[in-house]
Structure 1
Amino acid sequence: MKNLSFAAFVFSALLVSCSKKEPADLYPADSQKANYDTTAIDSFSNGATSIDVVRQIRMSSQKYQDSVKEALKLQEQEKKLKEELEKENKNKAQEEKKAEEKNKPKTPEIPSAGETKAEQ
């Protein structure tokens, strides 16, 4: 009798543990849905923005356009300053040449030692 009650207990435990159970529905139909997008977007999925498109968007922004204009203005100003400096340097060089020519004493030509007065 002890063996029979023990066997019945083991048999009932096996039936309960090995019975086919329905899997729990992980996403029931009446569950609340999120009101935001929860899918991850990588570089190959739909809706992903390529690097080139982002670059074009940034380049077309007003801030970028303003910075480009400022850079061009600075380059033009530097170019003008360099031209003015070159003109000033040329003028100074010409003035120095004129001053040297005025200050240069006119010396008569002295014949070299190998020349005689007859050859002149």
Structure 2
Amino acid sequence: MKNLLFVAFIFSVLTLSCSKKEPADFYPTDSPKASYDTTAIDSFSNGATSVDIVRQIRMSSQQYQDSVKEALRLQAEEKKLKEELEKENKKKADEEKKKTEDEKKQKAPETTTAAEFKTE
């Protein structure tokens, strides 16, 4: 008897849980429709372009080419300015070396003449 009640209970639970329910209407007929296409383009569907092709299209555009040329021009200008600065720095360093050598040469004869006077 207990088994019969248990089986009846299980049967009733299964029938209630597995019965077909009427789905709610998520798209009522009076809802506004979009006037544009909202379907997503899959990467395998017609009209889809791969990422590589889009990248090539962007790279071949005139604006991209202009920006590349501008970047190259700026790099060339910076390189030229650095070279000029290095040349100026070298010239200044050479001039300072010459000045210090000249000062040493001028001091060297003075010290020898002073030493000669002291020895006499």
Question: Could you say whether these structures have the same fold, taking a TM-score greater than 0.5 normalized by the shorter chain as the test?
Answer: yes
Question: Which stretches in structure 2 are left out of the alignment for 5+ residues?
Answer: 1-35, 113-120
CA distance in structure 2 between the partners assigned to 1:38 and 1:92 by the alignment: 70
| Percent identical residues | 79
- How far does residue 46 in structure 1 lie from its aligned partner after superposition? 2.1
Q: Where in structure 1 do 4 or more consecutive aligned residues deviate above 3 Å? A: 36-40
The letter of the residue matching 1:79 is K
CA distance in structure 1 between the partners assigned to 2:40 and 2:103 by the alignment: 85
| 1:41 to 2:37 alignment | no
- How far does residue 38 in structure 1 lie from its aligned partner after superposition? 6.9
More helix by share: 2
CA distance in structure 2 between the partners assigned to 1:40 and 1:100 by the alignment: 78
Number of residue pairs aligned between Structure 1 and Structure 2: 73
Aligned to 1:67: 67
What's the TM-score, normalizing by structure 2?
0.56
What's the TM-score, normalizing by structure 1?
0.56
Structure having the higher Rg: 1
RMSD across aligned C-alpha pairs, in angstroms? 1.8
Question: Which stretches in structure 1 are left out of the alignment for 5+ residues?
Answer: 1-35, 109-120
- How far does residue 40 in structure 1 lie from its aligned partner after superposition? 3.5
- How far does residue 44 in structure 1 lie from its aligned partner after superposition? 1.7
The letter of the residue matching 2:99 is A
